[in-house]
Structure 1
Amino acid sequence: MDILKIIRNRRSVMPVQYNSKSVTKEQINTLLESANWAPTHKKTEPWRFKVLHGDSQARLGSFLAEKYKETEANFSEFKYKKLMENPKKAGAIIAICMQRDPKESIPEWEEVASVAMAVQNMWLTATEMGIGSYWSSPGLIQYMDEFFEMALGETCLGFFYLGNFDGPIDERIPGPISKKTVWI
């Protein structure tokens, strides 16, 4: 598939759309390797990943659901169950983290942008491989240091859900770029 076609076919494929076919360790390693080639200012390479595969996915779901119950003033049983079940529906989950440059030699937004580009590399690679993926960034990510060990200056930016899927994905036709561009 050529790169423009891959870009045009990239979609968010949600956990509810995943089938039971597993995502292999080799496939995950390919995605992580593609992430590692993202652009990075001053070569800080701020992306950090924590792979949840198998039983750790159910533990993540329990942690998120219970933390939601503990912290949410407007509790919803529907959301609680969704937080509990979605991680178990995935073939794997990659926690997307950012390690801030200890010297703070560049603005934080540039580090976040580098991590986002690493995730885009994974997303495009997953698309090319026929694996569905979705970047979820619930407010509960602020508590992830209670779930897994994080280095000083490391923050969680979300979860990259992965799964195989059967059906077609929704077509997306963006608005014209001419309405979003000013030529000077």
Structure 2
Amino acid sequence: MKNKETSKEKPVVNRIWQYPKKNIFTLLIVIFVGSMLFSPDAKSFVLRQLMATGIFNASIDKKEDDATSQINAHFEFMDEKGNIQNTSTLRGKVVFINFWASWCPPCRAEFPSIQKFHEKYEGNDDLVFLTINLDDEPQAGKLYLEKEKFTIPFLIPNGNIPNEYFSGSLPTTVVLDKTGKIRMHHAGMADYSKDSFYEEINQLLKD
């Protein structure tokens, strides 16, 4: 009798295991959507794969392009030691400004490319990196950089930021030429580690 009862129970067990097998795709979708909703790292990983396709490559406007404009507004920023500086003092240099926050998945997605860009030009005194953190708690941004071992400058604004630079979208990146003109204003993520972008930066440094 026990053998018969056992044989009758097996189909029930099989049916239990057949459910995840038949619905494995659905389960994977649920897991994927859940991770995308709750994990900034998962979101940034997916966005980084999209960046690898080349559809988010950065591009600097040509000098004669009507899109270029002179910045007459400036803002102050502060480094980790409390030193305060104003963007008005950076004329004569190419300035790369990136506004970011640690909770922002697109910011996280583009950061490895910014890190590579920074490493390539770190010794060039004519190029300034202003990576401006906009976390409500700056410590969160600092911990994120330390965790990822990024060496880009950790800077925070010291007062209001003019709309010419930043109007609320994260990430936002601005590139100024040596005369203070905006040569790129990009809201959204981009890849800053491509040779094509480096060539445009090199041209700005020569001008």
- If the length of structure 1 is used for normalisation, what is the TM-score? 0.32
Larger radius of gyration: 2
- If the length of structure 2 is used for normalisation, what is the TM-score? 0.30
